[in-house]
């Protein structure tokens, strides 16, 4: 059993660590690949490069898991919606052709994402992964719905979704959930040992809408992952009540963001907790980083805990600081 799996199953608190966006923009070896591969979707669908990028951080740091280099927006891409990434802007999605999307066959969808599954299969046999977990992932139904309808990130602007056509949204959500399950199953079948569900835009919803758009759809996915004898980690960034979320969705692990009080989480949640550290501490001083890392380790010392960030590693992070972070966690006692 891996260090991470022991922590998930509450068998130990083994100073385990991996980081969201650990493979990516802050690593010079990734940037060299990216310079020659400007189309981000094509890069994600290059099985050899995806596998190589996935293990880059494991060659540098003593971390306990790899997460496949991919993107949550490959699902709308495979459903036939245009997805492009514009520098300094983010994702740009095309118009939805609902008739086209509703007629996508499973075989067509799987064939488009075959390179992702091949990359997972290639990666699981690499020496760097030996005795470590390989994490697959999807976007939560609500977050995928936001991107597909809003057609861009709502990060800097008000969410632009017309909720008047509720039947259209409900029908689209059913399709999204169906194909997320297909995507999950193929990742597991090719070697993913854990699935993380990213609900990046959970914080946009009013609490009265949680049940319909977050709790029920996400629990559907979590139950599906568990039915495959695979642990599910949920990261509902910005959710207003983590305890209620855990009760409603019942994941194996809850990943917390950096705006939540870790002491409150420690006192109110009894499943394995992951994450919490503000990634901005990685671009500050070593002294400040050490203080805040130890804060989380102290709070969760007697509970099953996976060290991670409250969001992904920032692009301007010095890899040396990541190495320092990993050693702080590994040497903690």
Residue span of the structural domain in which 204 resides: 3-330
Nearest-5° angle of CA 181, CA 182, CA 184? Answer: 60
pLDDT of res. 86: 82
CATH code where residue 178 lies? 3.20.20.210
Q: Which of 100, 99, 48 is nearest to 78 (CA)?
A: 100
Cα gap 329→325, rounded to integer Å:
6
3 state DSSP class of 179: helix
CA distances from 198 to 136, 293, 318 (A): 11, 23, 25
Pairing of strands 83-86, 90-93: antiparallel
Q: Which of 71, 16, 11 is nearest to 275 (CA)?
A: 16
Q: What is the DSSP letter of 270?
A: -
Residue 126 near residue 55 (C-beta atoms within 8 A): yes
Residue partners of 65: CB distance under 8 A and separation at least 6: 2, 4, 18, 132, 133, 134, 135, 194
Give the mean pLDDT per block of 10 residues along the chain (333 residues).
Answer: 87 85 96 95 97 98 97 97 86 92 97 98 94 97 94 70 75 97 98 97 91 97 98 96 97 97 96 97 98 96 94 97 97 92
pLDDT of res. 9: 84
pLDDT of res. 7: 87
Q: How does pLDDT run across 113-147, given as a tens digit for each residue?
A: 999 999 999 999 899 998 999 999 999 999 999 99
pLDDT of res. 163: 56
Nearest-5° angle of CA 279, CA 119, CA 27? Answer: 30
pLDDT of res. 153: 83
3 state DSSP class of 86: strand
Cα gap 319→246, rounded to integer Å:
33
pLDDT of res. 65: 97
What's the number of domains the chain is made of? 1
Q: Which of 22, 35, 55, 18 is nearest to 315 (CA)?
A: 22
Edge to edge, what strands does the sheet with 194-198 contain? 16-17, 305-307, 272-275, 253-256, 232-235, 194-198, 133-139, 65-67
Q: Which two tokens stand for residue 120?
A: 């997972």
Longest alpha-carbon distance in the chain = 57
Q: What is the DSSP letter of 105?
A: -
């Amino acid at each position: 059993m891996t260090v991470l799996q022991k922590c998930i199953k509450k068998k130990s608190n083994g100073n385990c660590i991996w980081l969201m966006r650990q493979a990516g923009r802050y690593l010079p070896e990734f940037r060299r690949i990216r310079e020659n591969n400007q189309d981000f979707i094509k890069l994600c669908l290059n099985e050899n490069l995806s596998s190589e990028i996935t293990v880059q951080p494991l060659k540098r740091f003593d971390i306990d898991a790899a997460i496949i280099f991919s993107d949550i927006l490959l699902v709308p891409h495979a459903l036939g919606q245009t997805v492009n990434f514009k520098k300094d802007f983010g994702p740009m999605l095309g118009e939805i052709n609902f008739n086209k999307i509703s007629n996508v066959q499973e075989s067509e969808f799987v064939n488009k994402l075959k390179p992702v599954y091949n990359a997972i299969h290639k990666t699981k046999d690499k020496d760097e992964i030996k005795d470590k977990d390989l994490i697959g992932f999807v976007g939560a139904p609500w977050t995928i719905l936001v991107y597909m309808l809003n057609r861009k990130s709502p990060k800097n602007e008000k969410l632009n979704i017309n909720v008047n056509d509720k039947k259209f949204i409900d029908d689209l959500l059913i399709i999204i959930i169906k194909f997320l399950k297909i995507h999950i199953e193929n990742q597991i079948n090719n070697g993913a040992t854990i699935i993380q569900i990213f609900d990046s835009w959970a914080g946009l919803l009013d609490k009265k809408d949680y049940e319909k758009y977050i709790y029920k759809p996400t629990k559907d996915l979590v139950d599906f992952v568990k039915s495959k004898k695979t642990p599910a980690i949920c990261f509902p960034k910005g959710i207003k009540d983590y305890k209620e979320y855990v009760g409603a969705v019942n994941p194996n692990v809850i990943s917390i963001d950096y705006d939540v009080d870790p002491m409150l989480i420690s006192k109110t949640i009894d499943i394995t907790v992951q994450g919490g550290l503000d990634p901005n501490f990685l671009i500050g001083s070593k002294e400040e980083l050490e203080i805040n890392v130890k804060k989380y380790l102290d709070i969760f010392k007697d509970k099953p805990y996976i060290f991670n960030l409250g969001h992904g590693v920032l692009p301007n992070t010095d890899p040396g600081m990541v190495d320092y972070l990993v050693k702080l966690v590994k040497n903690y006692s």
